[in-house]
Structure 1
Amino acid sequence: MNKTELIDAIAADAEISKVGAQRVLDSVINQVVKAVTKDDTVQLIGFGSFSAGKRAARVGRNPRTGEEIKIAAAKTVKFAAGKGFKDTVNKKKK
């Protein structure tokens, strides 16, 4: 499912216009990005949590030449699925 298909599904499910659904989805995404950028955690009970993480600097290898390269430290984004989401995904089909 891509963003357009998600907007269509939200609009149909919530019985709102596609433009309204797109504005809501864009707003949710923007708010999550802002919060995680500030090192806050966004926790949506039953769905999951978005948070910032840190990746330490390390030495890697260029796969083409085998030469050692330095990989800089970086911030990363983590998503941990909530229990309700995991349970739904793992529900056995009968």
Structure 2
Amino acid sequence: MNKADLIEKIRDDYDLTRVLARDIVENVFETLATTIQSGEEVSISNFGAFKLADRAARKGRNPATGEAIKIAASRTVKFRPAAPLKAALNVKRRSSKKSSKKRA
């Protein structure tokens, strides 16, 4: 699912105009981004938490040449799924093993 699919899903589910659904989705994403950029953790119950994380500078290799390079320190977002989401993703399905009957 991409952003356009999400907008269409919300539009259909709530009988909204495409413009209103797009504005809602963009506002949610903008609010999440600004909150995370400020260093706050965004926690959505039954879904998960988004948190700002710092990556230290490190050495790497250029895969084309094998030359050693320096990778600069950077900031990224880490996601920690909530327990209900983890549980939903790890539901065990019943196996469809065929029983083997012995012939007499």
Task: Give the TM-score taking structure 2 as reference length.
Answer: 0.82
Shift of the alpha carbon at 1:15?
Answer: 2.8
Aligned to 1:67: 67
* Structure 1: distance between partners of 2:53 and 2:18: 34
SS of alignment partner, residue 88 of structure 2? helix
* Structure 1: distance between partners of 2:9 and 2:93: 23
Q: Rg: which structure is higher? A: 2
Shift of the alpha carbon at 1:76?
Answer: 0.7
Aligned to 1:76: 76
Shift of the alpha carbon at 1:26?
Answer: 0.4
Shift of the alpha carbon at 1:18?
Answer: 2.1
Alignment CA distance shift 1:15-1:87 (3 Å): farther
* Structure 1: distance between partners of 2:14 and 2:45: 20
Alignment CA distance shift 1:37-1:22 (3 Å): same
Task: Give the TM-score taking structure 1 as reference length.
Answer: 0.89
* Structure 2: distance between partners of 1:16 and 1:82: 29
Q: CA RMSD in A?
A: 1.4
Q: Deviations over 1:13-43 (max 9, x none)?
A: 2232222211111000000000111111100
Moved >4 Å (runs of 4+) = none
Give unpaired runs (5+ residues) of structure 2: 95-104
Higher helix content, 1 or 2: 1
Aligned to 1:49: 49
Aligned to 1:37: 37
Give the number of the structure with larger relative contact order, counting CA–CA contacts within 8 Å between residues 6 or more apart: 1
Corresponding pairs, count: 94
